[in-house]
């Protein structure tokens, strides 16, 4: 039941406010005490599924607050997006591409209106950019599939429309909605950089850890 509760917090972008996430950040802070500027000191972040989301929060925390770039290995990390719904409906790749590209143009237009929020997110992206977590993703796992489209389609869009991409890549609709309500939120699964490791093996559980 606790795991389901934390999964729901991932869905509504509240996991980093949970006690478990704060304990994880505090534990790594303790391990890294006095190590600022000395590298990772042998500390790696590793997690699967829900644990990957926690490790993601910790890695962002260490990079954002202390500029500590910890080696990070995330297996089947959940990503909340419309990609899962589109795949369940067997949407063609070209349809997904057009939808994503249209979404980027819409967000670029919204970014022009919400300059303060965009500038804050761009600064956050710049600070996080040196951190490149390793993401291990199954192409048939709808829980983590959003990360594949997020990075691969984002790169295609950046190659074709670099000016528009620079405005839209740091924003999410949920962030902008909260902004309209007078609250600044950050979506933790918006990452500047990552190394993707993909598999399409169908003989094993697509979300299972054993495939890796």
Question: What pLDDT was estimated at residue 119?
Answer: 73
Check residue 52 and give its pLDDT.
94
pTM summary value: 0.77
Is residue 110 one of the residues assigned to a domain? yes
Q: Mean of the pLDDT values across residues 74-89?
A: 74
CA dihedral 206, 199, 174, 125 (to 10 degrees): 140
Strand, helix or coil for residue 80: coil
Burial of residue 103 (number of CB atoms within 10 Å: 0-12, 13-18, 19+)? middle
pLDDT tens-digit readout, 149-159: 778 777 777 77
Question: If you average pLDDT over every residue of the chain, what do you get?
Answer: 78
Q: How many domains does the chain have?
A: 1
Q: Is 85 helix (H, G, I), strand (E, B) or coil?
A: helix
Domain boundaries, position 48? 2-25+44-199
Is 115's pLDDT higher than 60?
yes
Residue 32 lies in a domain: no
Whether 157 is covered by a domain: the verdict is yes
The answer to whether residue 31 is domain-embedded is no
Asked if residue 8 is part of any domain, the answer here is: yes
Q: Which pLDDT value is given to residue 211?
A: 84
Q: Is residue 118 part of a domain?
A: yes
Give a yes or no: residue 39 inside a domain: no
| pLDDT 10s digits, 124-182 | 888 888 999 999 999 888 888 888 877 877 777 777 777 666 666 666 666 666 666 66
Instruction: Write the CA distances from 188 to 19, 45, 151, 163, 171, integer angstroms.
Output: 16, 16, 15, 23, 11
Distance CA 22, CA 7 (A): 16
In a domain, 149, yes or no: yes
């Amino acid at each position: 039941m606790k795991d389901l509760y934390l999964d729901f917090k991932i869905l509504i972008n509240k996991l980093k406010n949970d006690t478990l996430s704060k304990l994880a950040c505090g534990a790594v802070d303790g391990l890294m005490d006095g190590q600022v500027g000395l590298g990772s000191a042998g500390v790696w972040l590793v997690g699967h599924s829900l644990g990957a989301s926690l490790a993601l929060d910790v890695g962002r925390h260490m990079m954002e607050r202390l500029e500590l770039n910890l080696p990070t290995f995330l297996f089947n990390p959940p990503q909340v997006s419309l990609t899962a719904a589109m795949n369940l409906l067997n949407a063609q790749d070209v349809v997904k591409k057009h939808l994503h590209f249209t979404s980027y143009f819409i967000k670029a237009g919204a970014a022009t209106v919400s300059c303060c929020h965009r500038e804050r997110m761009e600064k956050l992206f710049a600070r996080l950019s040196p951190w490149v977590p390793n993401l291990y993703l199954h192409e048939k796992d709808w829980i983590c599939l959003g990360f594949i489209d997020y990075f691969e389609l984002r790169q295609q869009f950046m190659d074709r429309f670099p000016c528009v991409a620079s405005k839209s890549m740091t924003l999410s609709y949920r962030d902008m909605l909260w902004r309209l309500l007078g609250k600044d939120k950050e979506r933790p699964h918006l990452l500047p950089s990552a190394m993707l490791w993909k598999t399409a093996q169908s003989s094993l559980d697509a979300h299972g850890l054993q495939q890796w």
